[in-house]
Amino acid sequence: MRQTSHILARIAASLLLALAFCCAAGAAGQQQNLERSVKAAFLYKFLGYVEFAAELPPQLTVGVVGAADIAAELSQIAVGRSVNGRPIAVKALREGDSLAGLQLVFVGADVQRPAQVLRSAQQGGVLSVTEIDSGLQQGSVINFRLIEDRVRFEVSLPSAEKSNVKLSSRLLSVAWQVQKGGQ
Amino acid sequence: MLRRHTGTVRGRLILMALITTLVALVTTSVCMLVYDVKAFQQNWVDDLTTQAEIVATMSAPAVSFNDPAAARQNLALLRVKPQIRSAAIYTDAGLFAAYGLSPLESPAFPARPGNIGYSIKGGSMIVYHPIIDNGERVGTVYINSSYRLWDRVVSYAMILAGVLVFSLLIAALVASELQKSITRPLLAVTGVAREVMQRRDFSLRVDSNASGEIATLVAAFNDMLGEVGRRAHALQEANRTLEHEMQVRQGAERALLLADRRKDEFLATLAHELRNPLAPIRTGLDIMRVNSKDAAAVERARTIMERQLKQMVRLVDDLLDVSRITTGKLTIRHDHIRLRDVVNDALELVKPLAEAQGHTLQVLLPEAPVHLLGDATRLAQVLSNLLNNAVKYTQRGGAISLGAEMASGQVRISVKDNGIGIPPDMLDEIFELFIQADTSLERSTAGLGVGLSLARKLVELHGGTIRAHSTGRGQGSEIVVLLPVQEEPAALPAGPQGVAGPARQYRILLADDNVDFVNSIGALLRSMGHTVQISHDGNQALMAAETFVPDFAFLDIGLPLLNGYDLARAIRARPALRNTLLVAVTGWGQQKDRQQAFEAGFEGHLVKPVGFEQISAILAGSREGFAHAV
């Protein structure tokens, strides 16, 4: 546990250092890699700041649609970890796969029709996370953005309400932007 | 100064209260200080830990989601606590967010976070607190706060010192008020004690309304004062009594010395007076022996001798009276008498002497008879003494007068002369025993100095007074006697001698070892026709009495072989001699001698020298001086 936290911390630290000091041009590939890791870690952490309306199964399941690298990263992070005493399982999905049994779904940037996935996520009470600029407009609850070379996220409270999930105010306090009702 | 002040009870009490208070306060202060330091530190640690916890909790998402801005915002909230000088959040990578109280000085932050917990360095306290997110430690909160324990201790100690000083002041005030209830009675006691010592006044008392032991002390002190006062007073009284007694004793001693001296003088006078008549008597005897044939010369000598003898008898009578005065045995009869008779008796005694001295004697009595209650013989003795003095102390050919007049229920009898007079300072003293106005041995006058003393005693026994008046030496003198008068004479007594009846003849026993005396008396009685038996000792007298059976027996007390008392008892034991009248004849004339004689069985008591007329008076029926039993 402690060892894993160190690993995670080291990853985050190296990511931050890379983000802070590396030139954008020289190390684009490495930066791409780092970004995927950070996003995977964030996905894992989101689970700790979310309350689900439906009763939770003994194991939390995170679905990753159209982003195999993230799924792989997350699977690595999830090994031996748990949230609120529940172990985490990672499922790599393709477009059109059922979202049943999931608590969180990540929709990668490569997905052709994310709105569909997001809609079904809303219906299924699954917390949805996207990484496209129009993610929130498409119906996502949390959307990753790159702000000043940092991975940040924005939150849509109406989507969260529709998805029947409650986001912790502590999560909101570190969100880059929070969309409230009426949008 | 301080020693003197603390020496008093008041000082000690206040000091005691102050020291007690000081000890209590210091102990309390130290305890409070220690406790406060501990509590202060604990509070501070708790406080900072809480702050760190809050920051850690708040900043957990910021660290998790890599948001240093949010973390800085959270740290900035520490601004409300100005003691926190700097704070920071560390991740594994190093400093994540920092906060400094003062924007001017950039605080120095440690490169790596230290161990969890608190540490105190210099004036600051540093706390490291972990940031836990989802059960994982994601970072560390660092808080650096100023920690002014010393300031705190100093200010707290100063407050305590202030409280201490204030408390001591209050304690001193309270103690000085409270100690009064103890010291005031004590001061009162010591004050009174000092005053008592200075003024010796044991009537002083401590006035106090104290209670408890102090009251007991005050009461005991007062009681003690009272006791001491009583004893001192008793001692003074005893001293005064002793002093008085001493004075009385000294006075008595002086009086005794004086009396002793007077007695010596009296003895000298007495010897002189007794010696005086002896010379003429001896001369008379010589005349009688030489000129026994010359009847006229013998008669002259006999007259001289008789006169001198009378003088001696009078002297001895006076002596006996003096003895009666000194023993308080002088008694008088209480008969109804007439002044004129008394005066006549007195004049009869004095006239020859007055005429011999060539004095004129004038007598002036009231016309009406003056009745008195008293002893005719004794009153005559008084007047004759006074007249005798007047005759003696007046130059030849003087004028002597005796006057009597009624004055408010009393008769005032005055005897006046124009003789040598009496000095004023002697007017009262001449009535004292053995006092004579002229004490020189060469004086022309004679006397024992008992006449006036006897006269005063007798007058007093009659309920009267006697006083002397004189204008001075050579101016003559006047003695005034005041006697109560009896208004109504109950009955005029018969003449003292009574009517002399026909002379009877008696059988008479005389017993005396003085052969001359008893023989001469016996011869006289025989010549009167009586039958007389004479004995010279007691046994002879008893035998004579048994055979002779006398009507009268005149017995000497000092008889040889059988004394008068035993003889009388023996005679009284004989029934045949029941009717014999026993008369003691003795030189012992005091009352106790008379009483002893009466107890032995005598009816009569005659004191030597016995005149023949006394014996013939008894034979005639006179019972003067006899025991009351007869």
**Contact (CB<8Å) A5/B70:** no
Residue carrying structure tokens 């990540």 = A106
pLDDT tens across B605-622, in order? Answer: 888 777 777 888 888 777
B65 touches chain A (CB under 8 A): yes
Task: Say if the Cβ atoms of B138 and A10 lie within 8 Å.
Answer: no
pLDDT value of residue B250: 95
Nearest CB to B93; choose among A16, A48, A171: A16
Task: For chain A, say whether B75 makes contact (Cβ under 8 Å).
Answer: no
Residues of chain B with pLDDT > 70, as a percent, come to 92
Pairwise CA distance, residues B595 & B559, whole Å: 19
DSSP label at B169?
H
Q: Which domain holds residue B309?
A: 224-330
For residue B516, pLDDT over 90 is answered with no
In the structure encoding, which two tokens stand for residue B378, read together?
């004794």
Calculate mean pLDDT across residues B509-523.
84
Tell which of B269, B304, B330 closes a domain: B330
B137 touches chain A (CB under 8 A): yes
B69 and A CB contact within 8 Å: no
Residue B2 binned pLDDT confidence (cut-offs 50, 70, 90): very low
Q: Is the pLDDT of residue B202 over 90?
A: no
Amino acid found at B346? A
Q: Which residue has better confidence, B503 or B107?
A: B107
pLDDT reported for residue B52: 92
* B323 assigned to some structural domain: yes
**pLDDT tier at B243 (50, 70, 90 boundaries)?**
very high
Question: Which CATH number fits the domain that encloses residue B68?
Answer: 3.30.450.20
Give the pLDDT score at B446.
55
Is residue B515 domain-shared with residue B583, that is, in the same domain? yes
Helices (H), B65-148: 68-76
Contact A174 B93 (CB under 8 A): no
- Ramachandran bin of B449, using left for φ above 0, alpha for ψ from -120 to 50, beta for the remaining angles: left
Q: Which of A5, A150, A174 sits opposite B136 (nearest CB)?
A: A5
Q: What is the pLDDT of residue B612?
A: 78
- Residue listed under structure tokens 């209480």: B334
Two tokens, residue B68? 């240093």
- The pLDDT value recorded for residue B442 is 43
Give yes or no: residues B548 and B561 share one domain.
yes
Does B19 share its domain with B81?
Answer: yes
What local confidence, expressed as pLDDT, does residue A44 receive? Answer: 92
B461 and B355 assigned to the same domain: yes
For chain B, what percent of residues have pLDDT higher than 90? 12
State the Cα–Cα distance between residues B225 and B497, nearest whole angstrom: 80
Please write the tens of the pLDDT for every residue from B426-482: 888 788 766 665 554 444 445 666 778 888 888 888 889 999 888 877 888 899 999
B494 at A interface, C-beta within 8 A: no
How far does B154 lie from chain A, in Å, by closest CA?
44
Q: For the CA atoms of B376, B380, B383, B385, what is the dihedral angle to 10 degrees?
A: -130
Instruction: Inspect the interface and report whether the beta carbons of B93 and A45 lie closer than 8 Å.
Output: no
- pLDDT at residue number B532: 87
Burial B305-319 (b: 16+ CB within 10 A, else e): bebbeebbebbbebb
* DSSP codes joined into one string, A131-162: -STTHHHHT-SEEEEEETTEEEEEEEHHHHHH
Give the single-character DSSP code of B602: -
| Domain-embedded: residue B21 | yes
Establish if B415 belongs to a structural domain: yes
- Sign of the CA dihedral with A50 first, then A56, A60, and A66 last: negative
Please report the sign of the dihedral spanned by the C-alpha atoms of residue B149, residue B154, residue B160, residue B162. negative
The C-alpha of B135 sits at a distance from chain A's nearest C-alpha, in angstroms, of 9
Supply the pLDDT for residue A28.
Answer: 60
Asked whether residue B129 is domain-assigned, the answer is yes
Secondary structure string (H, E, C) spanning B400-446: EEEEEEEECCEEEEEEEECCCCCCHHHCCHHHCCCCCCCCCCCCCCC
CATH number at residue B382: 3.30.565.10
SS3 B44: helix
Query: Which chain A residues touch B if contact means CB-CB below 8 Å?
Result: 1, 5-6, 8-10, 12-13, 16-17, 38, 42, 45, 48-49, 83, 150-153, 168, 170-171, 173-174
Given pLDDT bands bounded at 50, 70 and 90, which one contains residue B103? low
Largest CA distance in chain B: 203
Whether B211 and B278 share a structural domain: no
In chain B, residues with a C-beta closer than 8 Å to the C-beta of A173 are: 61-62, 70
The model's pLDDT over A16-55, given as tens digits with 9 standing for 90+, comes to: 544 444 444 445 667 778 888 899 999 999 998 998 887 8
Are B516 and B386 within one domain? no
For B461, other C-beta atoms within 10 Å of its C-beta total 15
Going by pLDDT thresholds of 50, 70 and 90, the confidence category of residue B492 is very low
Residues of chain B contacting A8 with CB distance shorter than 8 Å: 136
- Taking each helix axis from N to C terminus, what angle separates B515-527 and B612-620, rounded to the nearest 10 degrees? 50
At B16 the pLDDT is 87
Element (H, E) at B561: none
Is residue B2 included in any domain, yes or no?
A: no
* B246 & B199 share domain: no
List beta partners, residue B290. none
- Looking at residue B474, what is its pLDDT? 80
Q: What is the mean pLDDT of chain B?
A: 83
The confidence score (pLDDT) of residue B630 equals: 38
CA separation for the pair B335, A136 (Å, rounded): 179
Across the interface, of A16, A38, A174, the residue whose CB is closest to B62 is A174
For residue B319, the domain's CATH number is 1.10.287.130
Total number of domains constituting chain B: 5
| Predicted confidence (pLDDT) per residue in B70-95, tens digit | 899 889 888 888 888 889 999 988 88
Set of chain A residues whose Cβ sits within 8 Å of the Cβ of B91: 9, 12-13
Q: Report pLDDT for B499.
A: 40
- What pLDDT is stored for residue A100 in this prediction? 85
**Mean of the pLDDT values across residues B45-68?**
90
Please enumerate in sequence order all residues whose Cβ is within 8 A of that of B318, keeping only pairs 6 or more positions apart, or say none: B448, B450, B451, B454
Residues B296 and B241 in one domain: yes
To test the contact with chain B by mutation, choose from A149, A169, A174, A176 the residue with the greatest count of B C-beta atoms within 10 A, namely A174
* Helices B9-64 & B149-178 angle (0-180, nearest 10): 150
The 3-state secondary structure of B500-548 reads CCCCCCCEEEEECCCHHHHHHHHHHHHHCCCEEEEECCHHHHHHHHHHH
Q: What is the pLDDT of residue B488?
A: 60
Which range is least confidently modeled, A69-83, B308-322, B394-408?
A: B308-322
- Within 8 A of B133 by CB-CB distance, chain A residues are 45, 48
B155-169, B496-510, B538-552: the lowest-pLDDT one: B496-510
**Distance between first and last Cα of chain B:** 104
- Of B315, B330, B345, the position where a domain reaches its end is B330
Q: Which two tokens stand for residue A138?
A: 């498409």
ipTM for this model = 0.78
Q: Which range in A1-5, B266-270, B504-508 is most confidently predicted, on average pLDDT?
A: B504-508
Least confident of A64-68, B188-192, B268-272, B522-526: B268-272
Asked whether residue A1 carries a pLDDT value surpassing 50, the answer given is no
Nearest to B70 among A13, A42, A173 (CB): A173
A129 has pLDDT over 80 = yes
At residue B160, the pLDDT reads 87
Concatenated DSSP letters of B259-287:
HHHHHHHHHHHHHHHHHHHHHHHHHHHHH
Q: Same domain for B236 and B364? A: no
Count of other CB atoms within 10 angstroms of residue B80: 8
If asked whether residues B285 and B346 sit together in one domain, one would say no
Minimum-distance CB partner of A171 among B61, B93, B136? B61
Does one domain contain both B455 and B561? no
Q: Where are the alpha helices (DSSP H) in B291-338?
A: 295-327
* Residue B563 within a domain: yes
In terms of Cα–Cα distance, which of A168, A116, A105, A106 is closest to A138?
A116
Q: What are the Cα distances from residue B473, in Å, to B151, B409, B438?
A: 124, 33, 11
pLDDT digits (tens, 9 = 90+) for B375-412: 888 888 889 888 888 888 888 888 899 999 888 888 99
pLDDT surpassing 50 at residue B498: no
B130, B89 Cβ separation under 8 angstroms: no
Question: Over 90: is that where the pLDDT of A64 sits?
Answer: yes
Give the amino acid at B488.
E
Structure tokens that stand for A71 in this block: 């799924």
Q: Do B92 and A42 touch (CB under 8 A)?
A: no
CA distance B74 to B141: 11
How confident is the model over B201-211, as a mean pLDDT? 79
Q: pLDDT at residue A67 above 50?
A: yes
Determine contact, residues B194/B221, Cβ cutoff 8 Å. Answer: no
CB–CB contact B66 A150 (8 Å): yes
SS3 B335: strand
pLDDT number for residue B607:
81
List, for residues B15-42, the tens digit of each pLDDT value: 888 898 899 989 988 998 899 888 988 9
Q: Which residues of B476-512 are buried (b: 16+ CB within 10 A; e: fewer)?
A: bbbbbbbbebeeeeeeeeeeeeeeeeeeeebebbbbb
Q: What is the DSSP letter of B77?
A: G
- Cα–Cα distance between A147 and A143 in angstroms, integer? 12
Task: Give the one of A6, A17, A174 whose C-beta lies nearest to B67's C-beta.
Answer: A174
Maximum distance among all alpha carbons in chain A? 48
Among B62, B66, B134, beta carbon nearest to A12? B66
CB contacts < 8 Å between A and B, how many? 50
Q: Residue B599 is part of a domain; what is its CATH number?
A: 3.40.50.2300
d(CA B562, CA B540): 9
- B71 part of contact set with chain A, CB < 8 Å: no
**pLDDT given for residue A9 in this prediction:** 55
**Does the pLDDT of residue B374 top 60, yes or no?**
yes
Q: Are B552 and B580 in contact (CB under 8 A)?
A: yes
- A157-166, B163-172, B240-249: which has the highest mean pLDDT? B240-249
Q: Give the pLDDT mean for B208-229.
A: 85
**Is there a single domain that holds both residue B229 and residue B277?**
yes
> What is residue B556's three-state secondary structure?
strand
Which residue, of B301, B330, B359, is where some domain finishes? B330
Query: CB–CB of A174 and B133 under 8 A?
Result: no
3-state secondary structure of B95: strand
Q: Best residue in A88, A153, A170 to probe B by mutation, most B CBs within 10 Å?
A: A170
Instruction: Give which of B66, B72, B74 to mutate to test A binding, by max A Cβ within 10 Å.
Output: B66
Cβ of A174 and B64 within 8 Å? yes
Using the predicted structure, report yes or no on whether residue B573 has a pLDDT greater than 90.
Answer: no
B84 to chain A, closest Cα gap in Å: 24
Q: Is residue B167 part of a domain?
A: no
- Cβ distance A174 to B61 less than 8 Å, yes or no, reads yes
Q: Is residue B176 part of a domain?
A: no
- Residue in chain B nearest A19 by alpha carbon: B66
